[in-house]
Structure 1
Amino acid sequence: MRGEYPRPEFRRERWCSLNGEWGITLGDQTCTIQVPFAYQCAMSGTGVSGAYDAMRYFRTFRVPEEWNGSRIILHFGAVDYRSQVFVNGSLACSHEGGYTPFSADITPYLTGGEEVLEVRVWDPLKDETIPRGKQFWAGDPAFIWYTPSSGIWQSVWLEPLDEAHIEGIRYDSDVDAGLVRIRFNLSEQCPLPCRLRWQIRVKDEEIYEGGFISRERNGEFAVDVFHNRILNGSFHYSGLCWFPESPTLFDVHTELESDGQIWDSVDTYFGMRKIHVSEGKIYLNNRPYFQKLVLDQGYWPDSLVTAPSDEAYREDIRRAKEMGFNGCRKHEKAEDPRFLYWADRMGFLVWESMGSFISYTHQAASAFVREWCGLIERDYSHPCIVVWNVLNESWGIPAVSHDPEQQAFANAMYHLARSLGGNRLVISNDGWEMTETDLVAVHSYRHGERSDAGMQERFSRGLCSVEGLADIMIRKPFAKGYGYKGQPVILSECGGIALAPEGGWGYTSASGAEEFLAEYQRIIRAISRSGMIQGFCYTQFTDVEQEINGLLRPDRTPKVDPGALRQINDQIETML
């Protein structure tokens, strides 16, 4: 059972997990299921085969007696795709979207005894207009498409709250000024005026303690965290800035008080992190920084899109860093907040993504916008997230190369993420046919087989200029009417080498570990020598089902020596 606290970036002391054994009805079958694992995976325990669009989950629970007098909030991390939640037969809430959290105040529906919880889910497998990412809709997994994961796939839990409570806290770090700007939201029932107390610590040292009277339910203030000391910034070394090499975090404890009573207390954190582009380079905390990313699908053989344990997230990051990567591009999946927590703590850059829809309609576009807004709201304060990667390879916008409406949608997503998403870079359409974008992020697997010297030379030459990119891509870099404006260029998908004869497929193949390392070295050398490329993303972290182009097998055992990969990756300096 996944028993860790589900929302680590906004923690309260009192909570109760509802993960574990539930009942589920699929068609005419009723059985038990281990939540939060999708019924299609082994760890769910259902043993059910076949595809079902409708799911009915049910269980009972009791509210702890010590919570009497509190409002009881029911939380869902993520349920794919449409949900209706019933408590003791009454509809408590509805939600649409497979990647974003939702909650309901279920206090009015409670009996004070054994409570009955029911969740009805509708996840139409063949509907190509809903965000589904890599979940295949046409039968058995094939090519780049994987087994679907329907229904509840992140944690479910209860939380007691007073009428007066803190609804949210956001952090915006200003590395240049040495300040953090803190925004807070209080509940509608919070009595005003009230007092907020704040304590900020870094490296076990208290750097700020203070409080103030708030006469509004929404507010903002700033705290000087560098104290005008040059070694606290990134001018020399990393100071107190957040880098993958030194992921410094500031821990914050906040209390809400009124009439001498503490109504709520929350533990959060932030990192002092800035990212921007200038003159064709990417800067992290004002220092040129080369991104060495690995494409991460976030799939496990026995649990699909849900990690088998919290430790699995931590281990994935550790293994990636061991191989010399400083981040990942999450592919067609908005990852569990527990992964982002470990990325923050361990120092790992993340390009945030969400599952794409496949076919363009106005309804599909609207649903996609709504869910991206929820995702940005959820993950706003994570320092590890440096890119909002909103669309991928023209999925959902297949006519974007020439169609003004689909181009307008891609641009709308770009500006939406720029306006709502804080200090991040935004890519409107990763891979090709880009419109407005902060990075020119291109995909190319045309590095050539080992025996194809001509293709190898073409690949190396193509990486040396923006004009040359089209020679090594399957589609043009920019949509009609758009072109290069001096942005940094990232090879955001490359490699994809399969180790033969392990079955399945890759973009090219190697006969053994020694040949694989030689091919990997050749790709990295071409990137290093290009003079233009400012980062890369290697495909991919692990094998997934029939796609065997991973650096690790599905069980996370390495195919080649991680140290040897690190030696190759280290040939490119990170801080340029």
Structure 2
Amino acid sequence: MTNPLSKLSEVFHHHDRDQEPPTVPSESQVYPGTDEAKVQYRARQVAQDAQLSSVQPTQEASSGDVPPPPYAPPPGLPPDMSAKAGPGEYKSLDASDTPAPLNGYPRPDFHRTASGLVWQSLNGPWDFVFDDTDTGLLDFWYTQSRLPDQGKRTIQVPYVFQCAASGIDERGVHEVLWYQRQIQDLRSSEAKERGDRLLLRCGAIDYHATIWLNGRYVGEHAGGHVPFDLDLSDAVALSGYMAENTLTIRVYDSAFDVTQPRGKQYWGPKPESIFYTPSSGIWQNIWLEVVPRLRVADGSHGTILRSNDIEKGVVDARVAVQGRKVQEKCSVEVEASFYGVPVSSSGKKELNKSEDFVRFDLPMRLSQEALSKLPAALLQDAPLKDPFCWRNNTALWSPEHPALYDLTIRLYNSTSGEVIDTVQTTTGMRSITWTNGDGTLRLNSRPYFQALFLDQGYWPTTLLTPPTPTSCKRDIQLSKAVGFNGCRKHQKVESPEFFYWADRLGFLVWGEMASAYNFSMTGCERFEAEWMAMIRRDLNHPSIVAWTPCNESWGYPDLGGSKRQRDHLRSLVYKTKTLDPTRPVNDNCGWEHVCTDLSTFHDYADARGMRERCGDLRATLTRGKNMFLPAIHGQDGVEDDEGSRHMRGAPVFCSEMGGVNIAVKNDESRQGNWGYTTASDGQDLLRRLEELLMATVSGGHVCGIVWTQTTDIEQEMNGIYTWDRKEKMPAAHVAEVMDRVKKVYYDGLRKHW
């Protein structure tokens, strides 16, 4: 029987535009600020590195770049709202000798302090077997200390078997995979007596993972894009605390099930059009970590830091704990500092007996004494009188000035007063407003033109997995080098390292999940579980400024006539807003909006077509595929669903455009040459880029754009950079174009105001 979805790509060929091809200007990049600011920041980093010297990874981390100071140049939107909101002049900085943050610890954005951070990377060689006949469970492979010799090979984790870096590089269909390796209990005798737990922490395993330790079932997880933790402590104890323990993981990942969220992983025999090679199994970091039995929870387990109230200058902190026994007394304290200068402390607050969290407002305003201790160079780059940098002595986060506060969270035993757990993280004070009624999308109360890339996060030899701990940093730097200030992360839940660097480098991100391609109860339940888990993991990052649950009606094939499908999409919007009311929700990116804060549209027309559409608001909202939906009436003529419409004054955003490819000679990284339109060479691509963007923005109705795309990917060759991250045209020339485009937008605002 023919798969009715086998030709979906022919439909999407005319609709979706998304990509993230490669690029390669130098690994180093912008280090803004004056020499004094650099010295101050380097001193701060040296102090942090010294403090973290007792971190215990077992695998040497790849080298990377030094984070920039909290303030990156140049000032963002000057008082006259001129176009100088871009990254300015970029210069190379040789960072070959600088390590990845925290020696490669996979969650540098939320970590225990040096004395409490004991972990071991499980990246590296594992025994690996394809179980194409699915006999491993029946033959009890999980009870054996060795997988069957027949067909066994070595795979390099966290790279999927479909990519070259895994050491296997096989593109055939294999739906059942087995992984196995030996591990040791990292806990000292004192830690065991104290009750510390040994966790297996998995960044993402696609799709359904079942885990055993020494033949004992530990747990399982369905969902290929979000993290999960499993406690190995009891299994280790039941095994008699052996010196070597056998960790076995079985993964099931259907190659064809379109109710399984898969994003751009194609279910056909060969990648084509805008769909790419699948990724099965372990594809993000996997590691062991020793944690206190009673501990501070991360975002995935309930800690929420809302930092959008820049007028009051407070963080609405909800700090959750895990592992609490019934009526166990404990308290939480949070301290904030900026550039090493103490800012505020919450004081200890006792947890209620009925709740495993506490809430309080944490002040972020710096006193005059604290301000006097900041480096003078920092205040020169970000003057206190600039309301885009400061608000009532509260430092503000933006792409131009990514100011981050350091937070230290301590958990106490209320009976003994002992510190049980200490965690360090960061937050950035910034506000996003979209209900201004004037069509603007505002950052820190100021209209802000979002120039975003469609970014899909693929690499030539590793596919979805970043090749090194600083690969995500490099991609952000490449994007900023050409004048873009953010990205729409498309059909992918990116590795946590990406958001760590986005916060520090100043890079706006629209969060998006991988779509399923069938509307059913199974598909809805699967998608919703991962969607909410993704938001919980990432909502504490100031760099994230919008959520996109659906793209181009993928998974909702009949929004025009099905109230049921509309209701489910609405439910995702409402649940998202319940968990995070501080960011706009772009319900269905591109068209057929059901319940949206942003009126987004996709259009890959040429410059003439974009000018005709974007020159008039009515044309913008009505041309092309339906942006909004008509009412649905029952057989009796009664209205079942009122439909949707553009909210007057809501921001209008061209969230996909461009997609222009060129042929680059003698480029072995290219496997095809697919694009929406074709330029003759780099100079022609640059010309088309400017013409398209000017045509889109000059009408004065579009407040931001998403250009398809950052890099080429496999056969889709319409990136600004090649798949191996090489320039197709000088980055400085693209940045100049982006400056001119931003100027047109801001000049248009001044005319209307």
TM over 0.5: yes
- Residue type at the aligned position of 1:342: W
- Distance in structure 2 (CA, Å) of the matches to 1:233 and 1:149: 48
**Structure 1 counterpart of 2:361, which letter?**
A
2: CA distance, partners of 1:381 / 1:2: 28
Q: Post-superposition shift, 1:337?
A: 0.8
1:281 aligned residue: 440
Aligned equivalent of 1:141, options 256, 271, 278: 271
Counterpart CA distance in 1 for 2:682 and 2:232 is 56
Residues 140 and 397 (structure 1), Cα distance of their counterparts in 2 relative to 1, 3 Å cut: same
> What secondary structure, in the 3-state scheme, does the structure 1 residue paired with 2:532 have?
helix
Compared with structure 1, are the counterparts of its residues 158 and 287 closer, same or farther at alpha carbon in structure 2 (3 Å cutoff)?
A: same
Which secondary structure does the structure 2 equivalent of 1:222 belong to?
A: strand
Q: 1:268 aligns with which of 420, 425, 429?
A: 425
Give the counterpart letter for 2:626 in structure 1.
K
Other-structure match for 1:158: 288
Tell me which amino acid in the other structure corresponds to 1:183. Answer: R
TM-fit CA distance, 1:196: 2.7
Q: Does 1:522 align with 2:691?
A: yes
SS at match of 2:347: strand
**Aligned partner of 2:230: which letter?**
A
* Structure 1 residues without counterparts, runs of 5 or longer: 448-455
Structure 2 residue 324 is matched with structure 1 residue 224: no
Partner of 2:618: 467
Letter in structure 1 aligned against 2:357: N
Contact kept, 8 Å, 1:232 with 1:241, in 2: the verdict is: no
Q: How far has the Cα of 1:409 moved from its partner? A: 1.4
Instruction: Report what 1:176 is aligned to.
Output: 311
Structure 2: how far apart are the matches of 1:315 and 1:501? Answer: 22
Task: Please say which of residues 285-294 and 410-419 is displaced more in the overlay.
Answer: 410-419
Match for residue 569 of structure 2 among 396, 404, 410: 410
Where do 1:449-488 residues align within 5 Å?
Answer: 456-469=607-620, 473=624, 475-480=625-630, 481-486=643-648, 487-488=650-651
Q: Which moved more, 1:197-206 or 1:115-124?
A: 197-206
CA distance in 2, matches of 1:48, 1:509: 32
Deviation of 1:269 (Å) = 1.0
Q: Return the match for 2:538 from 363, 379, 391.
A: 379
Structure 1 residue 555: Cα displacement? 0.5
3-state SS, counterpart of residue 182 of structure 1: strand
Whether 1:18 and 2:173 are equivalent positions in the alignment is no
> Residue 236 of structure 1: CA displacement?
2.1
C-alpha deviations, 1:366-385, integer Å up to 9, x for none? 11111111111111101101
Of structures 1 and 2, the one scoring higher in RCO (CA 8 A, sep 6+) is 2
Moved beyond 4 Å, runs of 4+? 227-235
Q: CA deviation at 1:566?
A: 0.5
Q: Name which one, 1 or 2, has greater alpha-carbon Rg.
A: 2
Tell whether the 8 Å contact from 1:80 to 1:99 is kept in structure 2 after alignment.
yes
1:401-440 equivalence runs, <5 A: 401-440=560-599
Distance 1:211 1:567, change over 3 A: same
* Residue type of the alignment partner of 2:644: Y
Distance 2:287 2:699 in 1: 50
- How far has the Cα of 1:227 moved from its partner? 5.2
Work out whether residues 469 and 477 of structure 1, in 8 Å CA contact, stay in contact via their aligned partners in 2: no
1:7 aligns with 2:7: no
Q: Secondary structure in 2 aligned to 1:427?
A: coil
SS of aligned partner of 1:511: coil
Matches within 5 A, 1:21-40: 21-27=125-131, 29-40=151-162
Q: Aligned pair in 2 of structure 1 residues 235, 410: CA closer, same or farther (>3 Å)?
A: farther
Which of 102, 107, 123 in structure 1 is aligned with 2:253?
123
Cα distance change of structure 1 residues 2 and 330 upon mapping to structure 2, 3 Å threshold:
farther
* 1:360-371 equivalent positions in 2, closer than 5 A: 360-371=519-530
Instruction: Say whether 1:201 aligns with 2:337.
Output: yes
1:178–1:228: 8 Å Cα contact kept in structure 2? no
In the alignment, what sits opposite 1:450?
A: none
**Where does residue 453 of structure 1 map in the other structure?**
none
C-alpha distance in 2 between matches for 1:354 and 1:234: 39
TM-score by length of 1: 0.95
Deviation at 1:8, TM superposition (A): 2.1
- Checking the alignment, whether the CA contact within 8 Å between 1:79 and 1:98 is kept in structure 2 is yes
Q: 1:422 to 1:341 in 2, by over 3 A?
A: farther
CA distance in 1, matches of 2:501, 2:282: 22
| 1:33-61 alpha-carbon deviations (Å, 9 max, x no partner) | 11111110001112434111111111011
Amino acid at match of 2:153: C
Flag structure 2 segments of 5+ consecutive residues without an equivalent: 1-58, 62-103, 132-149, 372-381, 631-642, 666-671
User: 1:313·1:342 contact (CA, 8 Å) conserved in 2?
Assistant: yes
1:56 counterpart (178, 187, 191)? 178
Q: Deviations over 1:92-121 (max 9, x none)?
A: 111110111111111111142201101111
Which amino acid letter does the alignment assign opposite residue 419 of structure 2? Answer: I
- CA distance in 1: counterparts of 2:266 and 2:255, whole angstroms: 8
**Cα distance in structure 2, aligned partners of 1:118 and 1:418:** 39
1:518 alignment partner, SS class: helix
Secondary structure of 1:128's partner? Answer: coil
- Letter matched to residue 176 of structure 1: E
Kept in 2: contact 1:351–1:389 (CA 8 A) = yes
AA matched with 2:420: W
What is the CA–CA distance in structure 1 between the aligned matches of 2:442 and 2:560, rounded to whole Å? Answer: 30
CA distance in 1, matches of 2:331, 2:213: 35
Residue of 404, 408, 427 corresponding to 1:253:
408
In structure 2, C-alpha distance between the alignment counterparts of 1:387 and 1:25, rounded to whole Å: 40
Q: Does 1:71 align with 2:211?
A: no
TM superposition shift of 1:210: 4.8
Displacement of 1:21: 0.9
Shift of 1:228: 8.5
Q: CA deviation at 1:151?
A: 0.7
- For 1:95 and 1:430, locate their aligned partners in 2 and report how far apart those are by CA, in whole Å: 29
- TM value normalised by structure 2: 0.73
Between the aligned partners of 2:469 and 2:527, the Cα distance in structure 1 is 28
Provide the rounded CA distance (Å) in 2 between the counterparts of 1:213 and 1:397: 46
| 1:442 CA drift (Å) | 0.5
Give the C-alpha shift of residue 195 in structure 1. Answer: 3.6
Distance verdict in 2 for CA 1:2–1:367, change over 3 Å: farther
Superposed CA offset, 1:1-44 (max 9, x none): 78411122210222211111111111363211111111100011
Letter in 2 for 1:10: F
Shift, 1:501, TM fit? 6.0
Q: Give the superposed CA RMSD.
A: 2.0
Offset from partner CA, 1:494-535 (integer Å, 9 cap, x none) = 001101366411111111111111111101111231110000
Q: Distance in 2 between matches of 1:383 and 1:39?
A: 34
What does residue range 299-318 of structure 1 map to in structure 2 within 5 Å?
299-318=458-477
Structure 1 residue 470 displacement after superposition: 5.9
Distance in 2 between residues matched to 1:354 and 1:235, nearest whole Å = 36
* Paired residues of 1:444 and 1:472 also in contact (CA < 8 A): no
Q: Which residue pairs with 2:397 in the alignment?
A: 242
Does the 8 A contact of 2:345 with 2:362 survive in 1? Answer: no
Using the alignment, how far apart are the partners of 2:737 and 2:673 within structure 1? Answer: 26
| Contact 1:71 1:162 survives alignment (8 Å) | yes
In the TM superposition, 1:37-48 aligns within 5 A as: 37-48=159-170
Identify the match of residue 320 of structure 2 among 185, 204, 207. Answer: 185
Amino acid in the other structure paired with 2:267: W
CA contact (8 A) 2:409 2:422 kept: yes
Q: Is the 8 A contact 2:158 2:282 kept in 1?
A: yes
Which runs of structure 2 are paired with 1:528-543 in the superposition (5 Å)? Answer: 528-543=697-712
